Structure 1
Amino acid sequence: MRFTLVTIAALASSAAAVGHAVVKNNCQDTVYLWSVGGAVGPKVTLGQGGQYSEQLHRDPASGGIAIKMTKVNDGLYTGAPEQIFAYSLDNDKTWYDMSTVFGEPFKGQHLKVICGGGGTIDWPNGVHPGGSQVKVCSSKNDVIFTACA
């Protein structure tokens, strides 16, 4: 019984050791973001120097999470250009990428996604540079998107 409790406690603590998805806004423009999985989360407003963070998690309906950003208030609902920072938690790994829809809201601005021990996604001019953008790292690490890096 003692071994079982120790084992369960160790497994629970290792499962809780999950990183965060972080968005940093170093741009002068205000950025509006929504965390979207099977449902749309509340709008978050980030001014210059603002930061948003959520614990990495798996959405039971969609599997992954898309953090959708616009430079237009309520842009998610008006067809404004969207920057998408997406991730999918897969046991001990986090898969992440970056894309856009309806245009390129950060065109001309440096975008970067980093994760310790994983690959870097770097868009020096705020536009997709071509090729695969999907990267992977340990789920224990934070995955950090920086606008105006």
Structure 2
Amino acid sequence: MRFSILSGAALVSSVYAVGNAIVINKSPSTFYVWSVGDSVGSRQTVVAGGNYSEPLHRAPNAGGIAVKITKTGELSNGVPTQIFSYSLDGANVWYDLSTTFGEPFKGQRITVTSPIGGTIDWPAGSNPGGSQVKVASSEGNVVFTAYAAV
């Protein structure tokens, strides 16, 4: 008898159709994106009018994924970092926004939207207060968008 073991990500994607985590740059400035789970992914450059996309996935040892965004091209040295995080939970994806070392989008509207879930809206690039955690079906996309300064 032969047995097959699937990883957590493979099992989720084999049972549920999954969408994408998308970062859209509607601002005039370039910014940089890293996908961080069990390890730090390579730096991606998102120019004005550009985007970054990855399939929603799980990090077996970290649980969720943190899509980290900076304006400096660095991820260390205490630079202001926007964090668009998500976690797959079967048929659902939970998502949130937070910052560390400052607010790289201060003065700019940023949102996280899903066509089948709630919207997170930071009209001035700062947390307006309270918990911002939202949940949606993992079949849809979850989209972070940075806009031009308000």
- Provide the TM-score with structure 1 as the length reference: 0.88
**How far apart are residue 16 of structure 1 and its match?**
5.3
Which residue in the other structure is 2:143 paired with?
Answer: 144
Distance 1:14 1:124, change over 3 A: same
**How far apart are residue 17 of structure 1 and its match?**
1.4
Which residue in the other structure is 1:6 paired with?
Answer: none
**How far apart are residue 12 of structure 1 and its match?**
9.1
Which residue in the other structure is 1:91 paired with?
Answer: 90
CA distance in 2, matches of 1:13, 1:117: 18
CA distance in 1, matches of 2:33, 2:51: 11
Residue 119 in structure 1 maps to residue 118 in structure 2: yes
Deviations 1:103-134 (A, max 9, x none): 00000000010012211000000000001110
Distance 1:141 1:102, change over 3 A: same
- Provide the TM-score with structure 2 as the length reference: 0.88
Count of residue correspondences: 138
Which residue in the other structure is 1:3 paired with?
Answer: none
CA distance in 2, matches of 1:22, 1:15: 22
Residue 23 in structure 1 maps to residue 23 in structure 2: yes
Which residue in the other structure is 1:40 paired with?
Answer: 40
CA distance in 1, matches of 2:73, 2:14: 39
Deviations 1:52-91 (A, max 9, x none): 00000010010000000000022x1221100000000000
SS in 2 for 1:38: coil
* Structure 2 gap segments, 5+ residues each: 1-10
- RMSD after superposition: 1.7
Identity of aligned residues (%): 59
Residue 50 in structure 1 maps to residue 54 in structure 2: no
Off by >3 Å, runs of 4+ in structure 1: 11-14
Distance 1:12 1:21, change over 3 A: closer
Does the CA contact (< 8 Å) of 2:16 and 2:90 recur in 1?
Answer: no
CA distance in 1, matches of 2:53, 2:69: 14
* Structure 1 gap segments, 5+ residues each: 1-10
SS in 2 for 1:53: strand
SS in 2 for 1:77: coil
SS in 2 for 1:39: coil
